[in-house]
């Protein structure tokens, strides 16, 4: 789970801090004194727990799935580690969601209603609660596995974040607006592809969204998992089903550790964490799962459509795998043609080119993309959590070269880089971005200092903001909202 795939590479000076910029980022020191909600560590907090167990034995669920996660809660987490680090999940970055889905106009300080569906051991639940710790928010966690819920709840309690949670042990398929209300944001990562009917699962969650609500989803990608499905089939056919599951796990590990170079999983091994480093929960999840399916991009868009949802954007880690500009960088005529095609088709072509998308991590909503734009002078550019972790400002300010390369790469694909010019005007612009000044204020300041026209300044600001926002290094929030710190 910690090493779920791709990672960006950045200038050397910031690289050491980036060892784990996957969909999960580990930041440190985990919790600065005073940054917690009222509770502090391990404060006695009332646990608000419910059980919706009506369909746990229904045909809409595969009992083997529940048994697996009761036995091996996923991902393996030790709640006490909350004392020394915070894991963050890119799909749950609320400032980024605000940028793409709410035109930066959502005042996050006013709080959100959040559902974490199939929350597992709590990575998303904890990070969302952490971000919303000082707001009047409500978080509802649901999972089929009681063992996983216990870990998630303990993690939240250790952080003093338990107060705003409702914990539900049960199936997401049993949630209705009558029972749990409706939500501004629903996280459902790595869950729906384990249902016998993922279409029903997505429609159930879509019915729980407020009209302007957003979902952060992860489902498996077909092409990147080609080797995985061959190995699942091999193990299904070769390991007697009546053996104890521990024995099955051990036999599977032995076989998978000795795959020849010709094997498709071996050929695509760089798309996944190394087998030796996989915890039993990870290994079982990837190779021995009783119920999973994967999606190509066209299937993904069709899946969203049947639930009346519209695609918004992929999270930054794998976004470039879906963008034709990287595929056709050297073929402008083909790029021009491909860019006339529907978005799903553009992404489908790019997905086929790389063959590396093993997980689609993205946002969707009934309204679709509603992105903030720097053309609006009342938008405020802010360094995203990612931009801060990378020390973007410092790296550009201290660069001694005319431009600074921020390289986004993914195992199995060549390096893709974002080049930021380090000329005096851009440097000053980067410096003026402070999460407080609007685009208009920055423009006026630059006009005074550089004696250039407003039109020229607007062009520069828009170019730089769009470039950095394209990789979620900078996000916009509207001046009508309050300052937001993650």
Ligand X SMILES: C[S@@+](CC[C@H](N)C(=O)[O-])C[C@H]1O[C@@H](n2cnc3c(N)ncnc32)[C@H](O)[C@@H]1O
Q: Does 151 bind ligand X (CB under 6 A)?
A: no
Q: Does 148 bind ligand X (CB under 6 A)?
A: yes
Q: Does 189 bind ligand X (CB under 6 A)?
A: yes
The correct pick among 130, 159, 163, 194 for binding ligand X (CB under 6 A) is 194
CA distances from 228 to 190, 224, 233, 271 (A): 16, 9, 9, 11
The correct pick among 5, 118, 198, 227 for binding ligand X (CB under 6 A) is 118
Closer residue to ligand X (CB): 251 or 290:
290
Q: Specify the stretch interacting with ligand X by CB under 6 A; choose among 166-174, 209-217, 253-261, 375-383.
A: 166-174
Closer residue to ligand X (CB): 131 or 171:
171
Continuous segment of H or E residues that includes residue 123: helix 123-131
Continuous segment of H or E residues that includes residue 329: none
| Shortest-Cβ-distance residue relative to ligand X | 120
Query: What phi, psi does 90 have (nearest 5°)?
Result: -60, -35
Query: What phi, psi does 312 have (nearest 5°)?
Result: -105, -65
Neighbours of 14 (CB within 10 A): 16
Q: How far is the CB of 411 from ligand X (least distance, A)?
A: 20
β-strand 474-478 against 379-383: which pairing, if any? Answer: antiparallel
Q: Specify the stretch interacting with ligand X by CB under 6 A; choose among 2-10, 190-198, 301-309, 450-458.
A: 190-198
Give the number of residues in contact with ligand X, rule: CB under 6 A: 23
Neighbours of 378 (CB within 10 A): 14
Q: Specify the stretch interacting with ligand X by CB under 6 A; choose among 136-144, 311-319, 336-344, 381-389.
A: 136-144
Give the total residue count for the chain. 486
The correct pick among 8, 39, 75, 104 for binding ligand X (CB under 6 A) is 75
The correct pick among 88, 171, 296, 379 for binding ligand X (CB under 6 A) is 171
Q: Does 65 bind ligand X (CB under 6 A)?
A: yes
Rg of the Cα trace of the chain? 23
Q: Specify the stretch interacting with ligand X by CB under 6 A; choose among 78-86, 132-140, 187-195, 471-479.
A: 187-195
Q: Specify the stretch interacting with ligand X by CB under 6 A; choose among 100-108, 143-151, 154-162, 226-234.
A: 143-151
Q: Does 350 bind ligand X (CB under 6 A)?
A: no
Closer residue to ligand X (CB): 92 or 103:
92
Q: Does 79 bind ligand X (CB under 6 A)?
A: no
Q: How far is the CB of 175 from ligand X (least distance, A)?
A: 9
Residue owning tokens 């338990």? 162
Closer residue to ligand X (CB): 65 or 90:
65
d(CA 455, CA 438): 16
The correct pick among 92, 93, 103, 123 for binding ligand X (CB under 6 A) is 123
Continuous segment of H or E residues that includes residue 295: none
CA distances from 477 to 98, 100, 211 (A): 7, 10, 21
- For 160-183, b where at least 16 C-beta lie within 10 A, e where not — what string? bbbbbbbbbbbbbbbbeeeebeeb
**For residue 114, what are its two tokens?**
């959040």
Q: How far is the CB of 101 from ligand X (least distance, A)?
A: 20
Residue owning tokens 């969203």? 304
d(CA 336, CA 222): 27
Q: Specify the stretch interacting with ligand X by CB under 6 A; choose among 80-88, 126-134, 169-177, 475-483.
A: 169-177
Dihedral over Cα of 299, 301, 302, 308: its sign = positive
Q: Does 292 bind ligand X (CB under 6 A)?
A: no
User: Coil, strand or helix: which one is 95?
Assistant: helix
Residues that bind ligand X (CB under 6 A): 61, 65, 69, 74-75, 118-120, 123, 142-145, 148, 171-173, 189-191, 194-195, 285
């Amino acid at each position: 789970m910690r090493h779920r795939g791709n990672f960006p590479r950045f200038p050397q000076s910031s690289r050491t801090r980036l060892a784990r910029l996957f969909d999960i980022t580990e930041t440190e020191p985990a919790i600065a004194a005073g940054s917690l909600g009222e509770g502090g560590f391990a404060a006695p907090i009332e646990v608000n727990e419910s059980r919706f167990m009506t369909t746990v034995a229904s045909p809409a669920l595969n009992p083997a799935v529940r048994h697996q996660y009761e036995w091996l809660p996923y991902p393996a987490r030790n709640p006490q580690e909350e004392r020394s680090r915070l894991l963050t999940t890119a799909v749950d970055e609320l400032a980024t969601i605000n940028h793409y889905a709410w035109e930066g106009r959502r005042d996050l300080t006013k709080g959100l209603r959040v559902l974490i569906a199939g929350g597992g051991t709590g990575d998303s639940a904890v990070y969302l609660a952490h971000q919303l710790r000082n707001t009047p928010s409500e978080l509802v966690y649901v999972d089929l596995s009681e063992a996983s819920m216990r870990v998630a709840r303990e993690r939240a309690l250790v952080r003093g974040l338990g107060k705003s949670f409702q914990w539900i042990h049960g199936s997401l398929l049993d949630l209705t607006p009558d029972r749990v209300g409706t939500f501004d944001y629903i996280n459902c990562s790595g869950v729906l592809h384990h249902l016998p009917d993922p279409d029903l699962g997505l429609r159930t969650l879509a019915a729980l969204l407020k009209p302007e609500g957003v979902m952060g989803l992860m489902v498996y990608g077909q092409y990147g998992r080609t080797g995985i499905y061959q190995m699942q089939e091999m193990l299904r056919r070769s390991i007697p089903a009546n053996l104890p599951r521990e024995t099955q796990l051990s036999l599977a590990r032995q076989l998978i550790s000795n795959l020849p170079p010709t094997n498709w999983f071996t050929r695509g091994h760089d798309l996944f964490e190394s087998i030796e480093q996989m915890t039993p929960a990870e290994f079982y999840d990837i190779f021995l799962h009783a119920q999973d399916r994967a999606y190509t991009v066209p299937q993904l868009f069709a899946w969203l459509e049947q639930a009346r949802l519209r695609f918004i954007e992929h999270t930054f880690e794998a976004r470039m795998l879906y963008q034709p500009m990287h595929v056709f960088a050297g073929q402008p005529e083909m790029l021009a043609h491909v860019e006339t095609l529907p978005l799903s088709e553009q992404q489908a072509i790019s997905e086929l080119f790389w063959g590396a998308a093993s997980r689609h991590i993205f946002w969707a909503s009934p309204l679709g993309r509603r992105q903030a734009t720097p053309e609006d002078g009342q938008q405020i550019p802010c360094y995203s959590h990612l931009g801060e972790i990378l020390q973007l400002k410092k790296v550009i300010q201290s660069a001694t070269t005319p431009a600074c390369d921020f390289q986004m790469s993914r195992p199995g694909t060549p390096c893709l880089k974002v080049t930021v010019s380090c000329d005096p005007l851009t440097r000053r612009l980067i410096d003026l971005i402070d999460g407080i000044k609007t685009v208009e204020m920055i423009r006026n300041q630059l006009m005074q200092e550089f004696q250039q026209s407003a039109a020229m300044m607007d062009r520069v600001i828009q170019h730089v903001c769009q470039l950095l926002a394209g990789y979620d290094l900078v996000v916009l929030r509207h001046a009508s909202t309050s300052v937001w710190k993650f």
